[in-house]
Amino acid sequence: RAITEKLAVVLNGDSAQPLVKVATTNSEAYALYLQASGIFNRREGARFSEAIAELEQALKLDPKFARAHARLAAIYALEPIYVVGATEASRAATEREAALASALDPTLAEPYAALGAMYGLAGRWTDARIASDRSLAIDADDVNVVFWAGVGAINSGHTKRGCELLDRVLASEPLLPNALLWRGIEYVYTGDLTRGETLLRRAADVGLAHVGIGLHMVEAARGRKVDAKQQLTNGLRALAAGLPTDAPAVVAAGV
């Protein structure tokens, strides 16, 4: 604020209000939130239970930590992808945590984005779009909100809009792992292997668990089928909860 006053920059809103909302005043709770968010951002599905435990501990330390509830909703929304038999329980938990987050802080957009992702996985496209649009209306600058809106748009056939939203995400958060994957895949689909591989390799560098889902497409397009099979096998391992151990390799060989 002192710098903006020196530079005579006009700030929007009440000058007496904080420039950045403080999510929690408990540093340990915030550290737990960041650790859980790292697991979430890298989509380490095998460690989702660990992330959930960390967020639950954060909420014991600060019961009013709305963002911890919102991130729990986000993790539960994706849990059925990684945990066999978690569908109904995960949906109920997503709705519960989203409601708790919104009750504590109605200005949070992530709870609605999580609901949108959950509805999308269930094939409820209208509900997903309504929830996604509401999340964007609340905060069109939240990277996870914009990311999920982009994914939802692509999955429902609105590819151009989806790519525009993913580009917005990467403009402000260039190392968000799953955004790199999704945008990289879309470049590959249009035949731009160079851009696609650049983003996909970057996703691998920042530790995205299932990046092979995208990298196998690059290897296959370049005629390197052995490498493509290995990349897809590696990528599928992150998504193969409950399947036989050889299932990823079998599916990759079939592809």
In the prediction, which pLDDT does 22 show? 61
In the prediction, which pLDDT does 85 show? 77
In the prediction, which pLDDT does 11 show? 58
HSE-up of residue 81 (Cα within 13 Å, Cβ side): 21
In the prediction, which pLDDT does 4 show? 66
In the prediction, which pLDDT does 239 show? 84
Question: Whose CA is closest to 128, among 146, 113, 140, 107?
Answer: 113
Q: Which residues of the chain have pLDDT under 70?
A: 1-2, 4-22
Cα gap 183→151, rounded to integer Å: 9
Q: Annotate 55-105 with DSSP letters as a single string.
A: HHHHHHH-TT-HHHHHHHHHHHHHHHHHSTT-HHHHHHHHHHHHHHHHHH-
Cα gap 213→148, rounded to integer Å: 18
DSSP state, residue 12: S
Question: Whose CA is closest to 210, among 246, 244, 243, 240?
Answer: 240
Question: Whose CA is closest to 88, among 98, 76, 100, 97?
Answer: 76
In the prediction, which pLDDT does 13 show? 55
Distances 74 to 36, 55, 97, 119 between C-alpha atoms, Å: 11, 12, 9, 12
Long-range own/partner contacts, residues 19-26 (CB < 8 A, 24 or more apart): 21/107, 23/65, 23/66, 23/67, 24/58, 24/62, 24/64, 24/65, 24/67, 24/68, 25/62, 26/58, 26/61, 26/62, 26/65
In the prediction, which pLDDT does 17 show? 56
pTM, to two decimals: 0.81
In the prediction, which pLDDT does 9 show? 59
In the prediction, which pLDDT does 50 show? 96
Cα gap 147→120, rounded to integer Å: 13
How many other CB atoms sit within 10 Å of the CB of residue 27? 9
23 near 33, Cβ under 8 Å? yes
Cα gap 58→108, rounded to integer Å: 18
In the prediction, which pLDDT does 82 show? 84
